[in-house]
Amino acid sequence: MNAPHDLRHLEAGSVEMATAFAARAAARDLTIGIIGLGYVGLPLAEAFLKAGFRVFGYDVDESKISAIKASRGYIKHIPDHRLRDMNATGRLTVSADPAALGGPDCLLLCVPTPLNQHREPDISFVESTCRTIARTLRRGQLIVLESTTYPGTSEEVMRPILESSGLKAGVDFAIAYSPEREDPGNIDFDTTTIPKIVGADSDPERRMAVAVYETITEVVPVRDMKTAEAVKLTENIFRLVNIALINELKLVYGGMGIDVWEVINGAKTKPFGFMPFYPGPGLGGHCIPIDPFYLTWKARAHGQSTRFIELAGEVVSGMPRIVIEQLTEAMSTRLRKAVAGSRILVVGLAYKKNVDDMRESPSLHLIHMLRKRGAEVDYYDPHIPEVPHNRDHPEFAGLRSIAWTRESLAQYDAVLISTDHDDIDYQLLAETVPLIIDTRNAMRDFVETHTGKIVKA
């Protein structure tokens, strides 16, 4: 007979917790904790500092902690002066000590969610982080996962680990999910101008998360955490499918002697019903090559197939091989040379233009494939002077970018443009190298004046 009374008591307690939390958020009287100070976490810290909050940044990488304290930028689009401004607020604290995670009122998790070697979700970083949080979890805290993952992760994985602390989600503390939507290098949008999706499994928890995020940007609440998780996956699956489509059209039209870039430029003049996507040498970055396969894995657990997504994945994963085949044919027919024994320069190591992020970059696969075919391969990237350690190709760690000079370029038989950074002298390239394989249409202004040496791939 006491159950209804007890339930009402619990509901009243969570509502009271949410009301007090929201009032403190409005007054900027919260400490926002951010776990993971990389491409997502660092801009988020900056946004909350600008909004007037105290911010606690945590990262297991002590080199990042040292760099922030010294106002030394380690991400290209967040230079030193922005770190100096963050430190100058007097409201930023950073640490690699997990014991300090009990202090912040809110913890935002920005940790990696890669695929393992079997292309299955690797949520070990989420699990280990939640176990760390559980050791210091206290009443009234809000825990929000921002990392992309499959629908159900927050409810099925995070909640049980956090509740191992003895506290109950939705009663003693709150859980929500709000996927990151960062686009490094995009000068038109940043953390404060991109709307935030927020999902939670109860109204009080949702109110708490909305109260935090609405201080820095527009918020779009959704029904629950798994809906918010599905929103993020849908955004990236949409991109994957359309990129795969345009890459397939590139091959089809190329066989007909039609330039797909000109086709896209024509089609995008239609003011409705068409959105331009562009071909390339493959997919890179922390989202599109990975996120869709979180859904395919979860769908199998529910007896569902994702044929469309998997087909798109097959198309884009095959692009590096096709590019190498096109380079091989061009060298044979135009230079009368084999790839083996030739000197080849790959331009661009980052996965997209104008950033220093090489996660999942197709350039790494291209270099690997060319070296396997006996070529001597170097790279040039003005944003990545040296290759850091990476999981897929650890053998490239320490490889350094060449100097961009006429003398250096003249040593190569062919150049493969994988990333079309803006701050590259393409005219010097056109004047110096006998063969240029262009996967990004970077040489469009030189095709007519340098007929025969530029091949669109």
Write the pLDDT tens digit of every residue in 42-101. Answer: 999 999 999 999 999 999 999 999 999 999 999 988 999 999 999 999 999 999 999 999
Given a cut of 50, whether residue 5 has pLDDT beyond it is no
Confidence at 285, pLDDT banded by 50, 70, 90 = low
pLDDT over 80 (residue 188): yes
At residue 440, does pLDDT exceed 80?
yes
Arithmetic mean of pLDDT, 22-26:
98
**Average pLDDT over all residues of the chain:** 92
Residue 1 has pLDDT above 80, yes or no: no
Question: Residue 151 pLDDT more than 90?
Answer: yes
User: Any idea which residue has 């990389």 for tokens?
Assistant: 38
Q: Which CATH class is domain 3-223?
A: alpha beta
H or E stretch covering 346: strand 343-347
- The backbone torsions φ and ψ at residue 237, rounded to the nearest 5 degrees and listed phi first, read -65, -40
Among the residue ranges 60-64, 163-167, 184-188, 222-226, the one predicted with the least confidence is 184-188
Mean pLDDT along residues 147-157: 94
Rounded CA separation 275/289 (Å): 20
Spatial neighbors of 261 by CB under 8 A, at least 6 apart, are 278, 441, 444, 456
Of residues 389 and 8, the one with the higher pLDDT is 389
Q: What is the reported pLDDT for 389?
A: 84
The CATH number of 318-456, from 3.40.50.720, 3.10.129.10, 3.40.640.10, 3.10.50.40, is 3.40.50.720
Token pair in block for residue 275: 């959105």
Rounded distance, CA 457 to CA 441, Å?
Answer: 9
DSSP state of 272: S
Domain ranges of the chain: 3-223, 233-315, 318-456
Q: Which residue type sits at 120? A: E
Going by C-alpha positions, the residue among 207, 236, 233, 234 that lies closest to residue 221 is 207
What positions carry a catalytic annotation? 287
What lies within 8 Å, CB to CB, of 64 at 6+ separation is 37, 38, 74, 94
Give residue 118's pLDDT band: very low, low, confident or very high (50, 70, 90).
low
Task: State residue 383's pLDDT score.
Answer: 94
Asked whether this chain's domains 3-223 and 318-456 adopt the same fold, the reply is: yes
- What percentage of residues in the chain have a pLDDT greater than 90? 80
Per the structure block, which two tokens stand in for 241?
């499918």
Q: What is the pLDDT at residue 8?
A: 43
List Cα–Cα distances, 322 to 136, 248, 309, 369, in angstroms. Answer: 51, 11, 20, 11
Residue 187, pLDDT > 90, answer no
Distance set, CA 189 to CA 10, 110, 255 (Å): 41, 19, 37
Q: Check: CATH 2.40.30.10 for 233-315? A: no
Give the model confidence (pLDDT) of 342-379 as tens digits.
Answer: 999 999 999 999 999 888 899 999 999 999 999 999 99
Q: Mean pLDDT check: name the lowest of 64-68, 99-103, 119-123, 325-329.
A: 119-123
| Position 116, amino acid | N
Rounded Cα distance, 377 and 412, in Å: 9
157: burial class by Cβ within 10 Å (0-12, 13-18, 19+)?
A: middle
CA-CA distance, 55 to 93, in Å (whole number)? 6
Q: How far apart are CA 193 and CA 279, in angstroms?
A: 27
Distance between CA atoms of 110 and 147, rounded to whole angstroms? 5
Q: Does the pLDDT at position 6 exceed 50?
A: no
Cα 216 from Cα 195, distance rounded (Å): 10
pLDDT at 451: 77
What is this structure's pTM?
Answer: 0.89
- Cβ-based neighbour number of residue 28 at 10 Å: 14
Select from 204, 275, 201 the least CA-distant residue to 235: 275
